[in-house]
Structure 1
Amino acid sequence: MPRVVVVGAGMGGLAAAARLRALGHDVVLCERAGRTGGKLAGWSRDGFAFDTGPSLLTLPATYRDLFLKTGAPLEDVVDLQPVDPAFTYAFADGTRLVLPNTSRARTREAVGDALGGAAADDWDALIAHAARVWERTRRPFLEQGLAPRELLALGRDPRAVRDVAPWLTLRGLGRRLLRDPRLRLVLDRYATYAGSDPRRAPAALCTIPFVEQAFGAWHVAGGLQRLGNALEQRVLELGVQLRLGAEVTRVLVEGGRAAGVELAGGERLPADVVVADADAGLVYGSLLPPLPQTRRALRRVRRADRSFGGFVLLLALRGRTPGLTHHTVLFPADYDAEFDAVFAGRTAADPAVYVCSPDDPAMRPEGGEAWFVLVNAPLHSPGSGSAGTDWRAPGVATAYADQVLDLLAARGLDMRQRLLWSEVRTPADLEAAAGAPGGSIYGSAAHGRAAPLLRPANRSPLPGLFLVGGSAHPGGGLPLVALSAAIVAEQVGAA
């Protein structure tokens, strides 16, 4: 039976381990931390529970497929619940847009009521356009490794090129299709799902709001970390050997191919296949020795822009907030200033603020609320002086936490008199917990017209080594890392 070693038990690594074990491989899963799930994590205290990583699941079919092909269906192991309304958007002029879940008619009505009939027409046109882009790009860009033949065929189809519009940015698409500047802000925000600046991200990211509207916004009862727990249980049921506290320090190379891994204590685990659920820069720059065949891949990873990090507040509140929905986004007056600051290594003075407050009895005590508050943040870069942010420096995180609380109050969500306690999570914490360089959430940013083609391939240039997870093709986020695992399992094949 061929042996596979999976490096890293984030969601991509767990999914790859499950799929490869179901294909008959002998799988060992090594994770340096004391838990699985990677960036998908939870934290609780005094009856308040928080998702500290992803707080929204879209495209649940990716996990339905994973669980169905490895055992019991997804709905047998977690309670998957639609979130309705899906999002509330609050703008600087006081306008509020509350979007329902998976209803085109109700979405049109909501946009029309908040922003006018012309805006409703424009949003319909955008979603129709995004649906065409989704159909053009879903298979070649998301469901398989980048195949030159299919990409060439796509490039030769004038209708496909017109729809995908590789010369356009997401911001440019918004200017072309959306007349209301507030609706453009909503579209711009979807660039942040890929850790990117909408002024530099490709227009094809318009597929994200289409997916959200067509397939829904979902919550897992008890918190999204329960999805990770269920996947961990699945790999154990399948017979995967899970080794926690097992830090891989080296990918072994013999005869011109990956031959296993070496752990921090010197133990060697031979393997026919190595699957790395780790940052691609770490894989090519540290875990592998310098090799002619991986030199280009390393150079490409180092040239790419890093996606930004996240500054998080976990707030335990007494009382309930009238009208607060599960997901709320509070936009600033100048959204561009936020991206200018964050990608220059500075905290934004007036960023967009995202509040997640699930009305889930398993995540809050009676009469209380558990808020997960997130703002985009510069990466942790100690020693860079004024050109970066050292999140470990005394007072930096505390001062920014106070600033975010002030922003919430200024935008109508002043809960400081109801605050029982708070916890802070910075990009430095994510770097330490998940091995994400600088606390980058999504690996490389989706900047430039060729961004979808430049992510590290799942099949590495070194035979026997495969990459999975958020820094590899097709990208970061819960649905895409599940797709990356499916791609790798297909590339490795049955035992």
Structure 2
Amino acid sequence: MARIVVVGAGMGGLAVAARLAAQRHDVTVVERSDTVGGKLGWFTRDGFSFDTGPSLLTLPAVYRDLFLKTGAALDRSVELVEVDPVCHYRFPDGTEVDLPNASRGRVVRALDEALGTGSGAQWAALMDRAGAMWEITRGPFLESPLDGARTLVGLSRRVGDLRTVAPWRTLRGLGRSYLRDPRLVMLLDRYATYTGSDPRRAPAALATVPYLEQTFGAWYVRGGLHQLGEALHQRVVETGAQVLTSSTVTEVLVEGDRVSGVLLAGGRRIEADVVVSDADAAHLYGDLVRSPAADRARTSLAGATPSLSGFVLLLALRGRTPGLAHHTVLFPQDYDDEFDSVFGTGPHSRAPRPAPDPTVYVSAPDDPALRPDDDHESLFVLVNAPRHSVDDAAAGIDWDAPGLASSYADRVLDVMASRGLDVRDRVVWRELRTPADLARATSSVGGSIYGSSSNGVRSAFLRPANRSPVEGLFLVGGSAHPGGGLPLVGLSAAIVAEQIGRA
């Protein structure tokens, strides 16, 4: 039995703590906030409540496995509700489509009816390719520790598999080879943002994201997604782990080349044989670990592009919006301009800026737990945004600049109105969350949501490995392998728990 400290009580930290405690290790979770769940946040005011992070769960098998291997089944702790349709999309030309949940045939019919005969067949052919990609990559790339570029070398020995995954190809490039309708390409491009990336640079393998969503379904947790975090916290306690909130780790202690514990603000030391970090990898290697053994990891991180961030409006509204879906996406006229704005790229290599005409994502679960009564509703509104940066204009913008957040919120509301969702005269109050707020809350680089982006062929190999160069130090969560989002974070916890179990 090992003494293990988990730094951070996000979903990755809680998941690995539950698995390790179930293996009879002595586990202590240390969280600087007074709440758990990390980015799976929750905000409530005047009877209006909001999930401030993920709004749906895909690949629920990851969490079913976690709960079964640490105690009672997931369904004993939370109620999963199928989200159908998964999303309502509105394209720049005014075309609208509802994408059904977990039904290939219904998706094909919906696309044919909205975009024209043959559209569904194009999308289905792409999903067939994505399914083949998933079968090839799930084992070596997502369910196992990443063995550096050797993982790709192993794939290259199987020429057919290499051709299917096409690691040299971008998501946009793959889409255009299958999809003749630019609206379908736009639909596919959106899935790059699930990893905080640019579809023109992100790998084609991200086509597996819509494949998973449409094959295994999209689910909501009754009462809000934060209930999943609460249930996991309870499971951690039930397995015997200790959770310390309002406790900030200031240093991961290293003796020689091996961890020996952590140091908390105020001077308390917690001795440990193993430390698992659920903190952002850049924060871990930049601020918490001072060992020269971590220099290689710091160098690798410096070569990666941090993911995009997000600008959020929490809207408390009078009245109800007729026919409003659980998820709504309102696309812009020029999607490329949005990515150029957020990442500071494009033909003129301009600095990052808030996208003047952004894609608007709206989450509005029909859940009485989120509203004071049936005459009001709560809307979570998100747009992709450049990271927060005070001193480096090439890295982001200063979201704390006076008036910027409020004026951009007004702009987003105007954009929503121009696309048929005008709520401006119904706002009771609004709460804004900027990339600067996210950076302060998570110690991520400028508020990057997913750690490193997937921009570039080598992006997967620049993402920090689960086993660090410092002996006894492991990484879990969205900024480490295999990536961000609830399913991948859960997979990272399974990988780390297995690595420690074998040690």
**2:283 and 2:443 in contact (8 A); partners too:** no
Matched to 1:397, the amino acid is A
Partner of 2:159: 158
The aligned amino acid for 1:20 is L
For 2:349, the equivalent position in structure 1 comes to: none
Secondary structure of residue in 1 paired with 2:85 = coil
The offset of 1:452, in angstroms, is 1.9
2:20 maps to 20
> How big is each residue's C-alpha offset from its partner over 1:120-178, in whole Å with a ceiling of 9 and x where there is no partner?
11001010000000000001111110146654332211110111011110000011110
Give the equivalent residue in structure 1 for 2:368. 361
Pairing of 1:31-70 with structure 2 (within 5 A): 31-70=31-70
Amino acid at match of 1:304: A
Residue 494 of structure 1 deviates from its aligned partner by 6.8
Counterpart in the other structure of 2:386: 378
- TM-score normalized by structure 2? 0.96
Residue matched to 2:265: 264
Structure 1 residue 118: Cα displacement: 1.8
The match for 1:412 among 420, 430, 442 is 420
SS at match of 2:428: strand
Give the 5 Å matches for 1:2-401: 2-147=2-147, 151-291=152-292, 293-344=293-344, 345-364=352-371, 365-384=373-392, 388-401=396-409
Q: 427-436 or 407-416, which moves further after superposition? A: 427-436
Letter matched to residue 480 of structure 1: L
Residue 444 (structure 2) pairs with residue 432 (structure 1)? no
**Partner of 2:347 in structure 1?**
none
* Maintained 8 Å contact 2:400/2:436: yes
Question: How many residue pairs are counted as aligned between the two chains?
Answer: 494
The structure-2 alpha-carbon separation of the partners of 1:162 and 1:385, relative to structure 1 and needing over 3 Å to count, comes to closer
Contact 2:396 2:446 in 1 (8 A): no
Task: State the distance in 2 between where 1:317 and 1:247 align.
Answer: 37
Task: Tell me the CA shift for residue 46 of structure 1.
Answer: 2.0
- For 2:469 and 2:443, how far apart are their aligned partners in 1? 23
Which residue of structure 2 lines up, in the alignment, with residue 466 of structure 1? 474
Percent of aligned pairs sharing the same letter: 62
Once the two structures are TM-superposed, the CA of residue 356 in structure 1 deviates from its matched residue by 0.5
**8 Å contact kept, 1:24–1:494:** no
C-alpha deviation, 1:106, in angstroms: 0.5
Question: Can you list the C-alpha shifts for 1:333-362, whole angstroms capped at 9, x where unaligned?
Answer: 000000101112210000100001101111
Code of the aligned partner of 1:361? P
**Kept after mapping to 2: 8 A contact 1:346/1:387:** no
- AA aligned opposite 1:108: V
Q: Report the alpha carbon displacement of residue 429 of structure 1 after superposing the two structures with TM.
A: 1.1
State the distance in 2 between where 1:225 and 1:388 align.
Answer: 29
Distance (Å, rounded) in 2 between the aligned partners of 1:153 and 1:435: 35
Deviation at 1:82, TM superposition (A): 0.7
Spell out structure 1 runs of 4+ moving beyond 6 A.
Answer: none
| Preserved CA contact (<8 Å) 2:257 2:291 | no
Report if the CA contact (8 A) 1:280-1:471 is conserved. yes
Displacement of 1:391? 1.2
| SS of residue paired to 1:173 | helix
Q: CA RMSD in A?
A: 1.3
Q: Secondary structure at the match of 1:43?
A: strand
Change in 2 beyond 3 A, CA 1:385/1:122: closer
More off after superposition, 459-468 vs 250-259 = 250-259
Tell me whether 470-479 or 365-374 shows the greater mean CA deviation.
365-374
Distance between the aligned counterparts of 2:211 and 2:125, measured in 1? 11
Contact 1:140 1:151 in 2 (8 A): no
- Deviation, 1:366, is 1.1
Q: Which amino acid in structure 2 is aligned with residue 457 of structure 1?
A: A
> Which SS does the other structure have where 2:390 is aligned?
coil
Using the alignment, how far apart are the partners of 2:299 and 2:267 within structure 1? 29
The change in CA–CA distance for 1:439 and 1:158 in structure 2 (over 3 A counts) is same
Q: Tell me the secondary structure at the aligned position of residue 421 of structure 1.
A: strand
CA contact (8 A) 1:202 1:447 kept: yes
CA distance in 1, matches of 2:304, 2:460: 12
TM-score by length of 1: 0.98
Query: By how many angstroms is 1:437 displaced?
Result: 2.3
Three-state SS of the structure 2 residue aligned to 1:135 is: helix
SS of alignment partner, residue 379 of structure 2: strand
Q: What is the alpha-carbon distance in structure 2 between the residues aligned to residue 18 and residue 428 of structure 1?
A: 31
2:465 aligned partner? 457
Report the secondary structure of 1:69's partner residue: helix
Report the CA distance between 1:387 and its aligned residue.
Answer: 6.8
Deviations 1:23-60 (A, max 9, x none): 11000100111111111101112221111111121111
Displacement of 1:450? 2.1
Letter in 1 for 2:417: A
* Cα distance in 2, alignment partners of residues 165 and 436 from structure 1: 31
Q: Deviations over 1:286-332 (max 9, x none)?
A: 211141x3211101111210101110001111222122110010000
Provide the C-alpha distance between the structure 2 equivalents of 1:284 and 1:42, rounded to a whole number of angstroms.
28
